[in-house]
Amino acid sequence: MSEKPSKKAATAKIQKQRRRRTLTFLRMVHYGISNFSRNIWLTVAATAVMAVTLLIIFSTMVARNVLVETVAFISNRVDMSMYLKSDAPEAQVMELKQRVEKLDNVASVRYISSDEARAQQAEQNKRDADTVEAIKAAANKMPATLRINLTDINDTSSLNEFVESDALYEELHDPSKEPSFRGDKQQQTIGRIGSWVHLAEIGGGIATLVFVIISSLVVFNTIRMAIFNRKDEIHMMKLIGAERGFIRGPFLIEAVIYGLIAAIIATVIGYVLVFSIKDGLVGYEIPIEGTLQILTSYAWLVALTMIGIGAVIGIVSAYIATRHYLQI
């Protein structure tokens, strides 16, 4: 009989503690919102600076993605060609093509016949009528070509080994033209393009880190000023025995609100800017379609990520500020 009352008492105690924690949290939220709206100019300044910082982070990530796309686009247009005799039998050319396709690092191989090469040359020079006429009237045939796309444009070792050792290639290749991937100039071009990707990744990471630090310092100083403005109120709370978390909580919630509002503003402005410059980038043949597809398909995830970044920056900065200046 005595066990039932004790269980009820324990259950009632747990429920009371839960209610107390819920009420405490709601009070902290209320005080945090009050802090946020108490000094309107400080709030506007802090939110604006944090929004600009998050917008720069957003822009940095978008720009990095576009640059990587652009480098990949340019990489696919780098001339990786084997030049063959114009009268090379097509059956043997197809066999050679299959051999090249099996090499390491080769993504795809396209065969361009002599006639097709002449037509492409004419198309590329269509604005110059004299050049087009000269191409059409030329008696000598253009060499057939195997156009090769590599997975990694910095690695042409398998192609170099192939052209030095394959008997069929030796029989079919045009002796007057070296493969385009051989030679110092081409290797320098390939290496330069590959380095752009690496620089894009490093630059994007450094820029993001720098602006996260700037944003953290802004929130840190904002919370510090809020603590100084409320030092008498905080002192009274300490005297009446308020818990550490209850004193610190409103400042953390205030920082989260900064991050939330700043993230929403930065995301909206970021989307407007990206879609407003879309036509201009497309006009310069800068590939942005992949980035736009990500932003459109995963808009909710982008928004949540921005809110998460803003909230984390705010919480960490506010926690450090309260730990240092509240002395509790």
Q: 14-65 pLDDT, tens per residue?
A: 776 677 677 666 676 666 677 666 667 777 877 888 888 888 889 888 887 8
| Element at 203 (helix H, strand E) | helix 184-229
What's the token pair of residue 183?
Answer: 């030679």
d(CA 199, CA 201): 5
pLDDT value for 269? 95
Burial profile 205-229: b = 16 or more Cβ within 10 angstroms, e = fewer:
eebbeebbebbbebbbebbbebbee
Secondary structure of residue 110 in the 3-state scheme: strand
Lowest mean pLDDT among 11-15, 88-92, 128-132: 128-132
Tell me if 311 sits within 8 A of 210, measured CB to CB.
no
Q: How confident is the model at residue 173 (pLDDT cuts 50, 70, 90)?
A: confident
3-state secondary structure at position 206: helix
Q: What's the CA dihedral at 153, 155, 156, 157 to 10 degrees?
A: -170
Place of tokens 């939220």: 29
Please give the average per-residue pLDDT across 267-281, as a whole number.
90
pLDDT at 85 over 80: yes
CA distance 42 to 93: 73
Sheet holding 106-112, edge to edge: 81-84, 144-150, 106-112
Structural domains in the chain, CATH included, are 25-73+193-325 (no CATH), 80-179 (3.30.70.3040)
151 by DSSP, 3-state: which?
Answer: coil
Output 92 or 223, whichever has higher pLDDT. 92
Task: Give me the mean pLDDT over the 184-197 stretch.
Answer: 60
This prediction's pTM: 0.64
Inter-residue contact 236 to 310 (CB < 8 Å): no
Does the pLDDT value for residue 130 go beyond 80? no
Angle subtended at Cα 112 by Cα 106 and Cα 115, rounded to the nearest 5 degrees = 170
CA distance 56 to 269: 11
Which tokens hold the place of 11?
């259950």
How high is the mean pLDDT of the chain? 77
**If you search the block for the tokens 């394959």, which residue do you land on?**
166
In terms of pLDDT, which residue wins out, 2 or 278? 278
CA distances from 225 to 33, 170, 229, 318, 323 (A): 16, 77, 6, 11, 14
Q: Is the pLDDT of residue 167 over 70?
A: yes
CB 121 within 8 A of CB 142: yes
Residue 139 is predicted with a pLDDT of: 42
| Contact predicate 206/63, CB 8 Å | no
- 84 has pLDDT over 60: yes
